[in-house]
């Protein structure tokens, strides 16, 4: 079977201030597109994996521009459904040093927030797929989006399609009367691969390593502390074969440390630690990790450590690229995995 991947979620118009300007200073915005599951899809397309992105878009020119952008990267768009009035927007103010980045959402009543079960023919979408990926952002958008996501997971489980999720907790999105702890467990129960960051498991499931405070990492995160998080997640969701945690240590807005752990079969794998000293754009960093991880698990099926190393190196490179999408090749990732972080001119 061809290793086709399907991702499902919201894609938005991203309007970012240029040159580290604050919203109040900027008279213009740089317009691109982005969103968790679309970002994963672009990564996979760059690595040569056949991928389809499923969403709901309005039938207007902005949505058409969005679809053209996805196609430019080789992402399949044939299962996108149309309807509704608008594409969601998010505004980004990029932070510097001690000033954190800020995101302002303008995505209420977006086309996908009004999706309902039955609008996507999941049997057709998933019939030739090897993998289905969703994130915790989708069920946060609306009750209908959560139900459509659950519908997709059910079909994927029945068809034997591997299901992965990125817990991706966004406190500002859960506004329709239900909380993440109420909605997420039923969805995550259908997942084979679970990804989270150092605080997702705590915010959604109350699972955390003892004595850890994400706001006081000082740039250092002890990877071994997170084995307990992985074992607790697997105990709660026994279908899961692998649990992966991304570990970001924040020295400041421009300087982060970055690594990951993967727990499978009773064993904890730890990646090398990257010191990212001059961040260009960290938005989409977790999605670039997920894209690298899916590629790694499909390509190095018997080598969890290599799959983890690919994911961490891929997302390390993403921090040097403007926009949501990680525009790197397998060769570039493997070069960094091999220890070449020199940044010398290639010619």
The C-alpha atoms of residue 89 and residue 64 are separated, in whole angstroms, by: 15
The C-alpha atoms of residue 14 and residue 12 are separated, in whole angstroms, by: 6
- Residue 286 pLDDT > 80: yes
pTM of the model: 0.93
Mean per-residue pLDDT, 142-170: 97
Beta pairing, strands 89-93 & 12-16: parallel
The C-alpha atoms of residue 245 and residue 198 are separated, in whole angstroms, by: 7
Mean per-residue pLDDT, 305-325: 93
- Residue 346 pLDDT > 70: no
| Cβ-contact 36, 65 below 8 angstroms | no
Mean per-residue pLDDT, 251-278: 88
pLDDT for res 1: 45
Backbone angles phi, psi at 8, to 5 degrees: -135, 125
* % of the chain beyond a pLDDT of 70: 94
**210 class by beta-carbon count within 10 Å (0-12 exposed, 13-18 middle, 19+ buried):** exposed
Mean per-residue pLDDT, 73-87: 97
pLDDT for res 285: 83
| Cβ-contact 212, 225 below 8 angstroms | yes
Mean per-residue pLDDT, 6-28: 96
Q: Place 213 in a pLDDT band, splitting at 50, 70 and 90.
A: low
Strand order of the sheet with strand 102-106? Answer: 30-34, 12-16, 89-93, 102-106
The domain defined by 5-337 folds into 3.40.1190
User: 48's torsion region: left (phi>0), alpha (psi -120 to 50) or beta?
Assistant: left
**Which among 133, 93, 89, 92 has a CA at the least distance from the CA of 113?**
89
Mean per-residue pLDDT, 88-102: 92
Q: CA 227, 201, 311: angle at the middle one, nearest 5?
A: 65
In the structure, how many helices (H) and strands (E) does the chain have?
11, 15
Please report which residue ranges of the chain form alpha helices under DSSP H: 36-46, 61-72, 122-126, 137-141, 143-159, 180-188, 200-205, 227-236, 285-299, 304-318, 330-337
The C-alpha atoms of residue 182 and residue 46 are separated, in whole angstroms, by: 36
Q: To which residue do tokens 């690595």 refer?
A: 47
The C-alpha atoms of residue 159 and residue 172 are separated, in whole angstroms, by: 34
């Amino acid at each position: 079977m061809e290793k086709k991947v399907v991702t499902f979620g919201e894609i938005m118009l991203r309007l970012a201030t240029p040159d580290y300007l604050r919203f109040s200073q900027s008279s213009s915005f740089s317009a691109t597109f982005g969103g968790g599951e679309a970002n994963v899809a672009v990564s996979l397309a760059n690595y040569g994996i056949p991928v389809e992105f499923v969403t709901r878009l309005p039938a207007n020119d902005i949505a058409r521009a969005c679809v053209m952008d996805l196609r430019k990267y080789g992402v399949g768009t044939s299962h996108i459904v149309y309807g509704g009035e608008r594409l969601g927007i998010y505004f980004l103010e990029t932070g510097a040093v001690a000033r954190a980045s800020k995101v302002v959402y303008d995505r209420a009543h977006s086309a996908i927030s009004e999706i309902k079960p039955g609008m996507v023919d999941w049997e057709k979408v998933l019939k030739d797929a090897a993998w289905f990926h969703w994130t915790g952002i989708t069920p946060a958008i609306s009750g209908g989006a959560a139900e459509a996501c659950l519908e997709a997971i059910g079909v994927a489980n029945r068809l034997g399609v591997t299901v992965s999720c990125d817990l991706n907790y966004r406190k500002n999105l859960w506004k329709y009367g239900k909380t993440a702890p109420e909605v997420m467990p039923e969805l995550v129960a259908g997942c084979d691969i679970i990804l989270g960051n150092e605080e997702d498991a705590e915010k959604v499931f109350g699972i955390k390593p003892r004595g850890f405070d994400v706001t006081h990492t000082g740039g250092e995160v002890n990877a071994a502390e997170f084995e307990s998080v992985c074992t607790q997640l697997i105990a709660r969701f026994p279908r899961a074969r692998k649990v992966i945690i991304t570990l970001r240590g924040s020295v400041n807005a421009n300087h982060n440390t970055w690594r990951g752990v993967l727990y499978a079969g009773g064993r904890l794998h730890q990646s090398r630690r990257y010191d990212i000293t001059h961040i260009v754009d960290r938005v989409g960093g977790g999605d670039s990790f997920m894209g690298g991880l899916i590629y790694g698990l499909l390509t190095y099926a018997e080598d969890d450590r290599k799959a983890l190393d690919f994911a961490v190196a891929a997302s390390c490179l993403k921090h040097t690229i403007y926009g949501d999408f990680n525009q790197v090749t397998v060769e570039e990732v493997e070069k960094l995995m091999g220890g070449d972080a020199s940044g010398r001119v290639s010619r």
